[in-house]
Structure 1
C-alpha cells in the first residue's frame, strides 16, 4: 500500500513539474524544472520497481522490477546532480529578472 501511495504522488509531482516547465519562460528555470520532473519520474520508477519486487508473481516481475528500480535510481541521482548544478543559475536568473522588472 505504501508503494502505491508513493507511485501516485510521484506521478502527480511529475505532471506538476512538467506543466510548470511548459509554462515557464526563463530558459534556466525550464531546465531546473525539467530536472525536478526527472527526479519525480525516477521516484515513480523506483516505487513501481520495488512494488514489483515485493509483490512478485514470477520471474518476469523480478527482472522488470530490478530494471525499473535501477533506472529510477539513476534518474533520481543524475537529476539531483543536475538540480544542484542549475540551482545557483536559477537564483541568479531570478535576481536578474527582479532587477529588470
Structure 2
C-alpha cells in the first residue's frame, strides 16, 4: 500500500511538471492555434493531476468523506481531461498548416 502511495505521488508531481511546462510553452508561443494547442495539452495534464490526486486521497483517507472528495476530484479530472484531449486532437490537425502559412 505504501508503494502505491509513492507511485501516485510521483505521478502527481510529473503531471504538475507537465502542466507547468505546457503553460510556459503557451506563453512563449506566437501562433494562435499553437497557443490553443498548448492550452489543451496543459488541460490534459491538469486533468491527470486531479485523477492521480483523487486516487491518492482514496489511499490516504479511506473513509466516507475521503471517498466523496475523491469521487468529486475524479469526475472533474476525467471531464477536464477528456474535453481538453478532444480539443488537443482537433487543434493538432492545424499546427502544421499554420506553420506552413506563417513561415518567413
Q: Shared fold by TM > 0.5?
A: yes
Kindly indicate whether residue 55 of structure 2 is the aligned counterpart of residue 50 of structure 1. yes
Unaligned 5+ runs, structure 2: 1-5
> Aligned partners of 1:86, 1:97: CA distance in 2, in Å?
16
> Aligned partners of 1:90, 1:67: CA distance in 2, in Å?
34
Unaligned 5+ runs, structure 1: none
TM-score scaled by structure 1?
0.92
From 48, 67, 70, the equivalent of 1:65 is 70
From 35, 38, 42, the equivalent of 2:43 is 38
State the Cα RMSD in Å.
1.0
- Compare 66-75 and 53-62 and name the one that shifted more: 53-62
Instruction: Report the 3-state secondary structure (helix = DSSP H, G, I; strand = E; otherwise coil) of the residue aligned with 1:25.
Output: coil
Kindly indicate whether residue 91 of structure 2 is the aligned counterpart of residue 79 of structure 1. no
What is the total number of aligned residue pairs between the two structures?
99
